[in-house]
Chain A
């Protein structure tokens, strides 16, 4: 478990997401106004880029087929299926976003 310095907080606009490549994986970091959150940047449905979705409260809607994913828990809220994406703790220190990231999502799910 290591905290990785990612980018200046202002690089992620309000209620939008941006993707970041970490090793072989990509995560999506969102600016929810009062906090930042990070999830795997791949929709469990068809792998759509979640960073490009519309933010609705603390959820994001995948731009490909409209799956709705909780940015808090990673759970798929719509449709009614029992899958999750990985979520990662985020902090902002001195205006810099840090993400605690360690494992690939497959390992996490297992």
Chain B
């Protein structure tokens, strides 16, 4: 075994060490680290400063990890000298360690600008965990904090201090912020953003002196201007820490010089990370350093081959509320084109630098959502010729409806019902079809999920000689009224049953379309005081279970907020075994689905589960998906679980125009994915956002913000107002996302959360009335609406074949 000594216990050194361990064992390894902490993720220091994470959270490898891998760890020991002839390193604890191979990963030092008075109290650099802790000691609400340096690190520090309540000023030497990564325009957009967020920015300021007697009290600039300060953080850049390279006798320019294999000028000495200079370039960002580590590990373990060939610089500012991204070249040159987009009011600035149809650089401020696409173009050196028109915008989604002529006759148009274009065209010609309703009736096309409705319309327009667009949205041919009219009729004529409506205003018969719709309408108009007629309901609502393709049913018990218990799980397991349930599946909504159940077994299964109906089979309150929130999650800022359970309790057992999925999440990370739910509550520090009309079904729609409120009770109230408004105004089978889009969120707000008190109270009163009359449908296990509701009839005499 050879002796490998690693100087530096930072991210680059340890990442490289991990790579070395993944090769065949070859070394006895000793690591020197001058900090007393185990290895941690330095780029997350700003989130420790902002209070988003604790120091423990950012540990990458704990002390155990070194022990498990038989690595000698020397923490708190600074290597003071290296003797390349004797091949020894000397520690400041007077230790002497022999090496066969030496790896320098000494990182960088904060650059200290020539300012007098840097030794005053409450002046810190921002480079390591000790710095961060010291800054945190000094930071408090109302403290005047000044950050010298408007680069990536300085701005992150500024936002962190602001999160601690400090009054923050950023002082920058040059004219615009982040001048290494942004062009001038980008820098000024960023400055605006920071100022909007309440961070003061002073550019073109040369700090000359720090003032104060012992403790820092202010800054004096070269122009004579003064600035008060209780706390000063220096973030003016970094310099490679190449001192030990010089002592080891290897070539050093700005950093320790390495070739593409990460070798220095001495075959026994290697270097990685911020202390390194490769092809004249020094890197301070993490991605290239990890790549260097991989290459170095191959070289040092005798697997020389992989090369580090440089890296296009890319930087993302990771501070809340500011989207900044930069990669590659940022300034245009005579041989490049710059493609720009600017909106000063929105604070969005985008610039792409293109050379010969290939992307060579990108600057994004205010909206970095497309950065992934650009990184990919940079990485693959993609030819952008065909994309020139959509460089700054999403590429247009191909819409089949626009060019029905291109669809071959044999291609399936309606995937649900398996109807081809040819079938539709034949039907149009042969049956003289003129409307979508007729087409649906005749071929079943668009009768499933409805996502092909557009294509069907287009086909009709193109093929049918007398195409008629449906003007009035009547429910069906059985009664010639819109749903809005029907609500009115039901209300004013005091009609309480489906059959009454059909007898008086319809054809007296009804069909599979109008009967379930009317069932819903009489229920909601009379707040549950209607005459229930199960024959007008779809089978799912007759037996409170979801019919499957083989005629069996599925059973989903309610688990409020997705929370269950060992006892419930045991009962579920027992039921599943006893009734030979064909599949037990966790659903997308944090519940458990028992599939393949016979209708006749439903009442017994419900009784043995001892849990209420999850309404998974009906157009009703499905579930409230939650994250663990403040109860357990260390990032949670609101109690998502109990808020979700409360929301579910308040609304469960009620019916809605279409299924209603809800979610409550305890912080903006949105683990419960509530922005694609019908109703979602997003917990934030000290407030809730209530969002509505989200979808993740046949299309995806981000929910609209209904309102932001401070208390949980107000959030629940807003959700209830919207819920009842949707119940009373949406068409049957209209999901919230279609409903909200049809009305517009402004109208929805005006008629719910911003409505007059009287109106709001009335909405809630009707909701309460419905709620009071509702009950768990599975209680019909003991009081069926009809003696044969769940049974298969047994013939009175045997049939002999």
Contact of B795 among A7, A54, A66, A68 (CB under 8 A): A7
B442 and A79 within 8 A (CB): yes
Of all chain A residues, the one with the shortest Cβ separation from B511 is A56
- B contact residues around A63 at 8 Å (CB): 538-539, 547
Interchain CA distance A11-B784 in the complex, whole Å: 13
Q: Is B234 an interface residue (CB 8 A)?
A: no
9 smallest A-B Cβ distances: which pairs? A15-B535, A52-B539, A61-B512, A22-B799, A57-B509, A49-B551, A56-B511, A5-B796, A54-B512
B534 and A80 within 8 A (CB): no
Interchain CA distance A50-B443 in the complex, whole Å: 20
Interchain CA distance A7-B441 in the complex, whole Å: 36
Q: Is B473 an interface residue (CB 8 A)?
A: no
Interchain CA distance A6-B515 in the complex, whole Å: 29
Do A56 and B796 form a contact, CB below 8 Å, given A16-B534, A18-B788, A63-B538?
Answer: no
Of all chain A residues, the one with the shortest Cβ separation from B423 is A79
A54 and B796 within 8 A (CB): no
Q: Write out, one digit per residue, whether chain B residues 505-526 have a CB within 8 A of any chain A CB (1) or not (0).
A: 0000111100110000000000
Do A53 and B539 form a contact, CB below 8 Å, given A23-B801, A64-B547?
Answer: yes
- B contact residues around A61 at 8 Å (CB): 511-512
B443 and A52 within 8 A (CB): no
- State the Cβ distance, B48 to closest chain A Cβ, in Å: 57
Interchain CA distance A14-B800 in the complex, whole Å: 29
Of all chain A residues, the one with the shortest Cβ separation from B788 is A11
B793 and A54 within 8 A (CB): no
Q: Is B431 an interface residue (CB 8 A)?
A: yes
Q: Write out, one digit per residue, whether chain B residues 476-502 have a CB within 8 A of any chain A CB (1) or not (0).
A: 000000000000000000000000000
Q: Write out, one digit per residue, whether chain A residues 1-27 have a CB within 8 A of any chain B CB (1) or not (0).
A: 000111100011111101111111000
Q: Is A108 an interface residue (CB 8 A)?
A: no
List, sorted by A's number, 29 A–B pairs whose CB atoms are closer than 8 Å: A4-B797, A6-B793, A6-B795, A6-B796, A7-B795, A7-B796, A11-B788, A13-B535, A13-B788, A15-B535, A16-B535, A19-B792, A20-B793, A20-B794, A21-B792, A22-B795, A23-B799, A29-B793, A49-B551, A52-B547, A54-B515, A54-B535, A56-B511, A56-B512, A61-B511, A64-B551, A66-B444, A66-B447, A79-B444
Q: Is A48 an interface residue (CB 8 A)?
A: yes
Q: Is B584 an interface residue (CB 8 A)?
A: no
- A contact residues around B793 at 8 Å (CB): 6-7, 11-12, 18-20, 29
B788 and A80 within 8 A (CB): no
A54 and B536 within 8 A (CB): yes
- B contact residues around A66 at 8 Å (CB): 444, 447, 512
Contact of A80 among B431, B509, B551, B786 (CB under 8 A): B431
- A contact residues around B535 at 8 Å (CB): 13-16, 54-55
Q: Is B224 an interface residue (CB 8 A)?
A: no
Interchain CA distance A29-B536 in the complex, whole Å: 17
Interface extent on B, as a size class? 35 or more
Q: Is B697 an interface residue (CB 8 A)?
A: no
- B contact residues around A53 at 8 Å (CB): 512, 539
Enumerate chain B interface residues (CB-CB to A < 8 A): 417, 427, 431, 441-444, 447-448, 509-512, 515-516, 534-539, 542, 547, 549-551, 786-788, 792-797, 799-801
- B contact residues around A12 at 8 Å (CB): 788, 793
Q: Is A83 an interface residue (CB 8 A)?
A: no
A96 and B509 within 8 A (CB): no
Q: Which of B447, B538, B801 has the most CB of A within 10 A?
A: B801
Q: Which of A48, A61, A80 has the most CB of B within 10 A?
A: A80
A5 and B511 within 8 A (CB): no
B447 and A5 within 8 A (CB): no
Interchain CA distance A56-B512 in the complex, whole Å: 7
- A contact residues around B417 at 8 Å (CB): 65
Task: List 17 extra interface pairs beyond A4-B795, A7-B795, CB under 8 A.
Answer: A11-B793, A12-B793, A13-B788, A15-B536, A20-B793, A23-B801, A49-B551, A53-B512, A53-B539, A54-B539, A56-B512, A63-B538, A64-B549, A66-B512, A68-B512, A78-B441, A80-B442
B549 and A46 within 8 A (CB): yes
Interchain CA distance A97-B721 in the complex, whole Å: 51
- State the Cβ distance, A78 to closest chain B Cβ, in Å: 6
- A contact residues around B788 at 8 Å (CB): 11-13, 18
Q: Is A47 an interface residue (CB 8 A)?
A: yes
- State the Cβ distance, A6 to closest chain B Cβ, in Å: 5
- B contact residues around A65 at 8 Å (CB): 417, 444, 448
Interchain CA distance A64-B427 in the complex, whole Å: 23
Q: Write out, one digit per residue, whether chain A residues 64-106 have a CB within 8 A of any chain B CB (1) or not (0).
A: 1111100000000011100000000000000010000100000
- B contact residues around A49 at 8 Å (CB): 547, 551
Interchain CA distance A94-B514 in the complex, whole Å: 35
A47 and B551 within 8 A (CB): yes
B534 and A13 within 8 A (CB): yes
Of all chain A residues, the one with the shortest Cβ separation from B431 is A80
Do A52 and B444 form a contact, CB below 8 Å, given A11-B793, A15-B535, A57-B509?
Answer: no
- State the Cβ distance, B538 to closest chain A Cβ, in Å: 7
- State the Cβ distance, B378 to closest chain A Cβ, in Å: 49
- State the Cβ distance, A22 to closest chain B Cβ, in Å: 4
- A contact residues around B427 at 8 Å (CB): 80
Of all chain A residues, the one with the shortest Cβ separation from B507 is A57
Interchain CA distance A57-B549 in the complex, whole Å: 25
- B contact residues around A29 at 8 Å (CB): 793
Of all chain B residues, the one with the shortest Cβ separation from A64 is B549
- B contact residues around A24 at 8 Å (CB): 801
- State the Cβ distance, A15 to closest chain B Cβ, in Å: 4
Interchain CA distance A11-B790 in the complex, whole Å: 11
Interchain CA distance A6-B799 in the complex, whole Å: 10
- State the Cβ distance, B799 to closest chain A Cβ, in Å: 4
- A contact residues around B550 at 8 Å (CB): 47
Q: Which of A14, A21, A79, A101 has the most CB of B within 10 A?
A: A79
- B contact residues around A64 at 8 Å (CB): 547, 549, 551
- B contact residues around A6 at 8 Å (CB): 793, 795-796
Q: Which of A20, A54, A64, A67 has the most CB of B within 10 A?
A: A54
- A contact residues around B797 at 8 Å (CB): 4-5
